[in-house]
A and B are shown apart, each in its own frame.
Chain A
């Protein structure tokens, strides 16, 4: 296996083998990111494709300092943002339900209870704008000020979208928990 340095050097020379290694090594990680920003898997794969091409052709911009994975993530998130802007006009409508479902649950969420697939599913169902803000704030760790700048929205919009996203997610996760618990109990009864 080639190590990271070799892969980067190889890709800078546009060596086909190194490009394939880069893909092999990091595509899973990057698709994991894209999937958080997309409404569904095909869209995530579109973003991934744009991101990979950017990565292959702009690898020279990677300074070498700092984590390579971090750089890959940054490029991918930027691609997701570009993709979001590009598709904004098709997606600006949203369900009225999403606005009103702000209610507080009374329990925390156990880490082991939810699978990655379920969390992706819940995220994918969010309105795109909420999803962007939630991802960028929670997982990528951007500040609201930065998010507002990158998404070209008002800082207060970012904050309010974030809190709404959080509320929707909480409700969905609680629903999911009650469904799962119910099925788990039914399963117990059958045994």
Chain B
């Protein structure tokens, strides 16, 4: 007797409070969501802006700042020239007079008669030579006039009298430094050669006089030109081409399939190798944030572009046309089905398992909210489901329903924010 009553207390609590729900106030929701956001911010997550990204940006900015302060930046259109000259030399007693104009190491050629080759070298230089190059030549000529013999090799008269022309190999490049893919027009400023062998340093070669080459991998390339004359002599010169890496612009959306204009869209920046960014949202607004959040004012088609700029000034851009257009939203129902006569099969279906059409269910796309009700002709609700994965197997309380016509109504919401209400009838076929 006593036990009964005591148990009743427990039953009372178990029944009433066991599954009871108490809706928390909105300020509690807000509090918990904000502390969740705080914790999420402190945790590393690839997809979300958080403290690690913040730190990364700060570090990148600091790094970029240092780079910018110490280096005025690349000159993409620098023209340069490097040349090497070998004077007349017969095999045994050759003396080499080298004119390394770029490096100005050994400005050359002493004797009066050697003015000829030097004059040649100068005449080959195009007007676009940079100042450094010219300085090198001037030093060369001034040395010559002073007769400063210390650093300058002298060519013997006999060699000059050898009477043959001077062989010079020289390279002129349209660009020496630039972003990948770097297109470079090479010009040979050599003289006296009959054969040329270009080696571009990335495995490519050419025998043209003025080849064009595209470097499509970042790196430093030593381009060499070997000039040969008819007697088999060879002069080699080289020129350095710096190909800078390009950043990669990439972004993602959060949420993945936003509803325009209802959703605030976070543009998740997945670019690599870039330090500054420029976003164009397609509605005449733009942003320079790393991962901006944007809200559109009205539904429409928008093309979103992202331009990513690396610390070298190289850029890459990604433009997504019609960024928010999603696949079509639809829901369609069949008008007949044949339930399993051997017993209820549940109602969960998949395209793979319902080959026999035993479950009444829609085909659909973009459905986010769903409710299906099926009534008999007498108006009894025989089935309802809030779960789009759950269709009707034709059973009601474990009993197979009679053949005949039933009426259904489905309502809900598509991902694009539109609601749908559709209804129709279906024939239950029961053999």
Contact = CB atoms under 8 A, between A and B. Distances in A.
Contacts of A105: 5
A53 B39 contact: yes
A57 B43 CA distance: 10
Per DSSP, chain A at the interface is helix
A44 to B, nearest CB: 8
B9 interface: yes
A123 B18 CA distance: 13
B22 A23 contact: no
B10 A138 contact: yes
Interface stretch (B30-38, B200-208, B403-411): B30-38
Interface in A1-42: 1-3, 13-17, 19-20, 23, 27-29, 31-32, 35-36
A32 B16 CA distance: 11
A14 B24 contact: no
A116 B17 contact: yes
Contacts of B45: 14
Contacts of A48: 24, 28, 32
B47 A13 contact: yes
Given A111-B15, A114-B16, A139-B14, A29 B9 contact: no
A23 B369 contact: no
A138 B13 contact: yes
A112 B261 CA distance: 48
A28 B39 contact: no
Interface in A99-130: 104-109, 111, 114-116, 119-120, 123
A139 B47 contact: no
Given A28-B24, A52-B36, A170 B9 contact: yes
Contacts of B389: 3
A115 B16 CA distance: 8
Contacts of B2: 104
Nearest to B5: A108
A71 interface: no
A69 to B, nearest CB: 9
A82 interface: no
A23 to B, nearest CB: 7
B369 A173 contact: no
A18 to B, nearest CB: 10
B353 interface: no
B368 interface: yes
Given A23-B29, A111-B15, A139-B13, A116 B20 contact: yes
B5 A111 contact: no
Given A1-B368, A166-B6, A139 B18 contact: yes
B386 interface: yes
Contact of A108 (B8, B31, B36): B8
B416 to A, nearest CB: 16
Contacts of A53: 32, 35-36, 39
Contacts of B23: 27-28, 31
B387 interface: yes
Given A111-B11, A119-B12, A139-B14, A32 B28 contact: no
Nearest to B2: A104
B28 A49 contact: yes
Nearest to B45: A14
28 contacts: A1-B368, A1-B369, A1-B370, A14-B43, A14-B48, A28-B24, A31-B28, A32-B21, A32-B22, A36-B17, A45-B28, A49-B28, A57-B39, A104-B5, A108-B5, A108-B8, A111-B12, A111-B16, A119-B17, A123-B13, A123-B17, A134-B13, A138-B10, A139-B13, A166-B9, A169-B9, A169-B13, A173-B12
Interface of B: 2, 4-6, 8-25, 28-29, 31-33, 35-36, 39-40, 43, 45, 47-48, 254-255, 368-370, 386-387, 389
Interface of A: 1-3, 13-17, 19-20, 23, 27-29, 31-32, 35-36, 45, 48-49, 52-53, 56-57, 104-109, 111, 114-116, 119-120, 123, 134, 138-139, 166, 169-170, 173
Which 3 residue pairs of A and B lie closest in terms of their CB atoms, listed nearest first? A28-B21, A108-B8, A32-B20
